[in-house]
A and B are shown apart, each in its own frame.
Chain A
Amino acid sequence: MLFNSLEFLVFFPVVTILYFLMPTLRIRNILLLIASYFFYMQYKPEYGLLMLFSTLINYIAALQMDKARDRITDKAGNKAGGKAVDITGQKKLWMAISIVGTLGVLFFFKYFNFFNSSLRGVLAWFDISYQPTALDIILPVGISFYTFQTMSYSIDVYRGDLPAERDFIDLALYVSFFPQLVAGPIERSTNLLHQFKTYHDFDAKRVSSGLRLMVYGFFKKVVIADRLAVIVDTVYNNPSGYDGVYYIIATVAFAIQIYCDFSGYSDIARGSARIMGFELMHNFDRPYFSKSVTEFWRRWHISLSSWFRDYLYFPLGGSRKGYFRTLLNLFIIFLASGLWHGASWTFVIWGALNGVAIVIEKILGIGKRAGKPGYIEQRRQERRNQSVFVRFFKAFLGIIPTVLTFVFTCFTWVFFRARSVGEAFYMLPRFLQGFDTFDLGKLLGTRTILGLDYWEFFTAIGVVILLFMIEALQGVKSPAKALDRMPTPMRLVVYSLSLSLVIWLAWTETQTFIYFAF
């Protein structure tokens, strides 16, 4: 079920109303669990079984790890729940079972064919014939998201940061919670699990805030992303038909499309969860305003970046094992991030490019402040305290690194969007060609511009400008707070205009969310 489908427009209000009508927490959680599985199994009923399998493995493993920890701490005479040494190896064993079981499913469905075909390519270099049979399997929607979410739970229990969840319903709901199930944010058990143990009353203010977020998410998705997708598909599905300026337009369009698509989904997820009383983590923080690639990754897909930081970068030693090891660790997590996005060399290269950029920035000391916790909020505060003149001057100077970061990001998106590595390399040199023959008047004078009707094309430009204006405003003040301070009639007018924009400018051709593929 897509968020931007009629089914969801019926499903969500029905579930929400039923949720608030349920008298007890237990019944509410059961209702949400049933609704979440129903939501997920709309894609393909069998997918539900996979998710159940993943939940069961981690439920049992976490309980066993908890048991082992308690036993050890008791023997050592410490208080139960304290950090303990795993003398018997039980914890490690169950952690391994959990990781192998959970990642095994992900590997089989997502990477089996990719690794086989890559292996065939490598062996072919050595003149060794390897003809594996490609499995005819369809990647279950959102598997990468819930796999990581489930793993974070087991790792937290293993580390002793969290006691094992004894209530299977609550854990199953944590894994399958429908707002964020198929495309994140990848929630942490420490943030979400305990929220299922609280009874959330209907709160008009909170519901309004959730609806606001949903409308903004829909604006990004159905008004901007789906419209820009036409431009992007027109060029990227036929790269030999275009060059230079067209590539640039399509790539910038893709940068905005993927941001609006993914962050739009996150906003709808956060908004719908908030309506029911759950607070999901912030997944995007105006990434295209970043002044360095390091900062970009602090602002882009925050739930994944922080996942890799906590569950891969730190276990690899983080920055504690020397300078070169730190650089290597940074590179490894970006390579892994690329692979997480898709079983294709285009994603691996995309991840590697970002990794290289981060390493270079680390060496040059660029984005150093950005790496510190709370930097973005700190920068926002600093700006608020500055005079208009200083703010304007700094903004003017700040444009240069922001533009450079955006250009680099767009360069990496070429690999992300291209249908193959070959096509990406075909396109790259041609980005600089065709400027002499390009005729802007001719482009704008035609009825259909890069697949979009003339009106639609200018609507696309208009809504993208509006988006960046909203995001620029978010940098200096909170539009949500400003809205809350408005007199009620004016606020209702603003809400109506926003909703009107979404309803009447929504791209009618329903498209799936890009990140579902991951």
Chain B
Amino acid sequence: MSNKKPQRNKGKELGLFLIKGLIVLVLALLPGAFVMLKFDPYLYLGTQPDPRIYVPIERYQIPGMAKHEDYDIAVLGTSMIENFSDSYLSQKLGAKTLRLPINASYITEQIAVLDVVKEYKDAKTIIWAIDYRTVDIEEGAIYSLNNTKFPEYMYDKSVLNDWKYIVNHNNFYLALKQFRMRRTGVNPFDYFVTDTETLNTWNWRSFNANLIRQDYKDLYTEKKNLYDKINNLPLDTVKSTIDNTLIKTIEKYPDTQFKLLYAPKGILWYKLLDQRGVLEKKLDALTYIVDKVSELPNVEVYNFQNVFELTEDLNIYHDITHFSNKGNYYMADSIAEKRHITTPESFRKDCEELLLRVRSEEIDNLAADALK
């Protein structure tokens, strides 16, 4: 009888170990992955059963909608477009329209949405709200204040990183919650939405003059930080960003009609920017956009900054920049009727008029009142 230990076959041991490991991994992943593939909470894979349930977390919800909803016109931008009514726009423009907003986004994120739109739906008309803050960035910057995360993997063309969507606890829970909602009919946490018409809107909020006055006061007295809203980069940087992002993207899609719009923010916003010495730079940047796109045949720019009946009606504002859907209806009508289209010449006049208005005694008094 030999005392020698039997020699272990290392190759066999390793092979068996790997097979067992693989079985464990597959078994661990399968149930959850099945739930995710079946219920697809953000509509990213297009497998979500009817009726569709939407989650108002725009950075995650929008790419799936851009891919799998039915529309001919896409509306891009920040919170400025959230209060548009899809059905009203569709009726006015004669084509099915879908809002694809990402609040507080920069041009980088908005271009990512546009690329998904063009890749999957090839919408021929894009309505695009351009804020100054959208382009007041270093090229490629992504909004990240307040721990905001942008899931780039949901916007790129690679399927290799889609596992980040599938193997994801938050998404898994959303899928389970949606499953429960479908079974019981009860919206378990209020925030699920079944109708794209109301998704991401905030018309339920309060709008009155006191709110915009208070916001102006807070920003003026630096209780709130203005530079959370704008980066205030040098004009050359902003121009370079405009060239390399907005203009290049528009040039990339020559068969698409772009309707850029400058939204009607509250007059006290322009006043504050002027008081901080930023307004002229902002207008220069917006003028630069108008100049550049005037050379392109597929772009119209709508300027609503000078619609004083809106900007000076403080009762339609929730804060210094955010207006109720009255502003959105006005813009929708104007786009349909091709009002407020601006050119390099008319925009320069608009800018002069805005500056004069902002510096007028009436607006000075309005601002002084707000500070009381």
* Residue ranges of A at the interface with B (Cβ–Cβ < 8 Å): 201-204, 207-208, 211, 447, 453-456, 488, 492-493, 495-497, 499-500, 503-508
Q: Taking A202-B14, A208-B17, A492-B23 as contacts, is the C-beta distance between A500 and B31 under 8 angstroms?
A: yes
Give which listed residue, B16, B28, B177, contacts A455 with CB less than 8 A.
B177
CB contact list, B1-57 vs A, under 8 A: 10, 13-14, 16-17, 20-21, 23-25, 27-29, 31-32
A503 touches B177 (CB 8 A): no
Complexed CA–CA distance, A201 and B27 (Å): 28
B10 touches A499 (CB 8 A): no
Instruction: Identify 13 residue pairs between A and B in the complex whose beta-carbon atoms are under 8 Å apart, listed by A's number.
Output: A207-B17, A447-B189, A453-B173, A455-B176, A492-B20, A492-B23, A493-B27, A495-B28, A496-B24, A499-B24, A500-B32, A504-B169, A508-B168
- Chain A residues in 8 Å Cβ range of B28: 495-497, 499-500, 503
Q: Taking A201-B10, A496-B28 as contacts, is the C-beta distance between A504 and B189 under 8 angstroms?
A: no
Give which listed residue, B32, B169, B189, contacts A508 with CB less than 8 A.
B169
B29 touches A503 (CB 8 A): yes
Chain B nearest CB, measured from A278 CB (Å) = 19
Q: Is B190 interfacial (CB-CB < 8 Å)?
A: yes
> Quick one: closest A residue to B164, CB to CB?
A6
B27 touches A496 (CB 8 A): yes
CB contact list, B152-170 vs A, under 8 A: 167-170
Closest 9 CB pairs of A and B: A496-B27, A499-B28, A500-B28, A204-B17, A504-B32, A495-B24, A496-B28, A508-B170, A496-B24
Chain A nearest CB, measured from B185 CB (Å) = 18
- Chain A residues in 8 Å Cβ range of B172: 504
- Chain B residues in 8 Å Cβ range of A500: 27-29, 31-32
Complexed CA–CA distance, A316 and B170 (Å): 52
Give which listed residue, B20, B29, B169, B190, contacts A505 with CB less than 8 A.
B169
- Chain B residues in 8 Å Cβ range of A447: 189-190
Complexed CA–CA distance, A496 and B31 (Å): 11
> Quick one: closest B residue to A505, CB to CB?
B169
- Chain A residues in 8 Å Cβ range of B189: 447, 453-454
Complexed CA–CA distance, A504 and B14 (Å): 28
Chain A nearest CB, measured from B144 CB (Å) = 14
Q: Taking A207-B17, A499-B24 as contacts, is the C-beta distance between A455 and B31 under 8 angstroms?
A: no
Complexed CA–CA distance, A493 and B23 (Å): 9
- Chain B residues in 8 Å Cβ range of A493: 27
Chain B nearest CB, measured from A210 CB (Å) = 12
Complexed CA–CA distance, A493 and B21 (Å): 11
- Chain B residues in 8 Å Cβ range of A204: 13-14, 16-17
Complexed CA–CA distance, A496 and B23 (Å): 8
Complexed CA–CA distance, A99 and B73 (Å): 71
Interface size on B, residues (CB 8 A): 26
A202 touches B173 (CB 8 A): no
> Quick one: closest B residue to A204, CB to CB?
B17
* Residue ranges of B at the interface with A (Cβ–Cβ < 8 Å): 10, 13-14, 16-17, 20-21, 23-25, 27-29, 31-32, 167-170, 172-173, 176-177, 188-190
- Known pairs A496-B23, A503-B32; list 9 more (Cβ under 8 Å): A204-B13, A453-B189, A455-B177, A495-B24, A500-B27, A500-B28, A504-B169, A504-B172, A508-B170
- Chain B residues in 8 Å Cβ range of A503: 28-29, 32, 167
> Quick one: closest B residue to A6, CB to CB?
B164
Chain A nearest CB, measured from B44 CB (Å) = 15
Chain A nearest CB, measured from B172 CB (Å) = 5
- Chain B residues in 8 Å Cβ range of A208: 17
Chain A nearest CB, measured from B10 CB (Å) = 6
B27 touches A492 (CB 8 A): yes
Give which listed residue, A211, A495, A499, A507, contacts B169 with CB less than 8 A.
A507
**Residue among B16, B24, B27, B31 facing the most chain A CB atoms (10 A cut-off):** B24
Chain A nearest CB, measured from B319 CB (Å) = 23
- Chain A residues in 8 Å Cβ range of B13: 202-204
Chain A nearest CB, measured from B7 CB (Å) = 12
Complexed CA–CA distance, A102 and B21 (Å): 43
- Chain A residues in 8 Å Cβ range of B170: 508
> Quick one: closest B residue to A453, CB to CB?
B189
Complexed CA–CA distance, A22 and B297 (Å): 64
Complexed CA–CA distance, A132 and B24 (Å): 58
Chain A nearest CB, measured from B213 CB (Å) = 27
> Quick one: closest A residue to B26, CB to CB?
A496
- Chain B residues in 8 Å Cβ range of A203: 13
Complexed CA–CA distance, A497 and B31 (Å): 10
> Quick one: closest A residue to B191, CB to CB?
A447
Chain A nearest CB, measured from B146 CB (Å) = 13
Complexed CA–CA distance, A500 and B21 (Å): 13
Complexed CA–CA distance, A387 and B17 (Å): 39
- Chain A residues in 8 Å Cβ range of B167: 503
Complexed CA–CA distance, A326 and B65 (Å): 70
Chain A nearest CB, measured from B120 CB (Å) = 26
Complexed CA–CA distance, A202 and B168 (Å): 32
Complexed CA–CA distance, A493 and B25 (Å): 10
- Chain B residues in 8 Å Cβ range of A207: 17
- Chain A residues in 8 Å Cβ range of B188: 454
> Quick one: closest B residue to A498, CB to CB?
B28
- Chain A residues in 8 Å Cβ range of B169: 504-508
A202 touches B10 (CB 8 A): yes
Complexed CA–CA distance, A488 and B16 (Å): 12
**Residue among B16, B29, B176, B190 facing the most chain A CB atoms (10 A cut-off):** B29
B173 touches A456 (CB 8 A): yes
Chain A nearest CB, measured from B219 CB (Å) = 24
Complexed CA–CA distance, A230 and B188 (Å): 21
> Quick one: closest A residue to B32, CB to CB?
A504
Complexed CA–CA distance, A453 and B23 (Å): 33
Complexed CA–CA distance, A360 and B176 (Å): 52
> Quick one: closest A residue to B173, CB to CB?
A455
Chain B nearest CB, measured from A273 CB (Å) = 18
> Quick one: closest A residue to B149, CB to CB?
A509
Complexed CA–CA distance, A493 and B24 (Å): 7
> Quick one: closest A residue to B167, CB to CB?
A503
Complexed CA–CA distance, A508 and B167 (Å): 10
Complexed CA–CA distance, A453 and B188 (Å): 11
> Quick one: closest A residue to B20, CB to CB?
A492
Q: Taking A503-B167, A505-B169, A508-B170 as contacts, is the C-beta distance between A492 and B14 under 8 angstroms?
A: no
> Quick one: closest B residue to A497, CB to CB?
B28
Complexed CA–CA distance, A495 and B24 (Å): 6
Chain B nearest CB, measured from A205 CB (Å) = 9
Complexed CA–CA distance, A249 and B170 (Å): 24
Complexed CA–CA distance, A495 and B20 (Å): 10
- Chain B residues in 8 Å Cβ range of A202: 10, 13-14
> Quick one: closest B residue to A459, CB to CB?
B173
- Chain A residues in 8 Å Cβ range of B31: 500, 504
Chain A nearest CB, measured from B48 CB (Å) = 19
Chain B nearest CB, measured from A167 CB (Å) = 28
Chain A nearest CB, measured from B162 CB (Å) = 14
> Quick one: closest A residue to B17, CB to CB?
A204
Chain B nearest CB, measured from A367 CB (Å) = 41
- Chain A residues in 8 Å Cβ range of B176: 455
> Quick one: closest B residue to A496, CB to CB?
B27
Chain A nearest CB, measured from B160 CB (Å) = 13
Complexed CA–CA distance, A194 and B177 (Å): 53
> Quick one: closest A residue to B171, CB to CB?
A508
- Chain A residues in 8 Å Cβ range of B17: 204, 207-208
> Quick one: closest A residue to B172, CB to CB?
A504
Chain B nearest CB, measured from A491 CB (Å) = 9
**Residue among A203, A455, A507 facing the most chain B CB atoms (10 A cut-off):** A455
- Chain A residues in 8 Å Cβ range of B21: 211
Complexed CA–CA distance, A456 and B189 (Å): 12
B168 touches A492 (CB 8 A): no
Complexed CA–CA distance, A379 and B17 (Å): 36
Chain A nearest CB, measured from B34 CB (Å) = 11
- Chain B residues in 8 Å Cβ range of A456: 173
- Chain B residues in 8 Å Cβ range of A495: 24, 28
- Chain A residues in 8 Å Cβ range of B190: 447
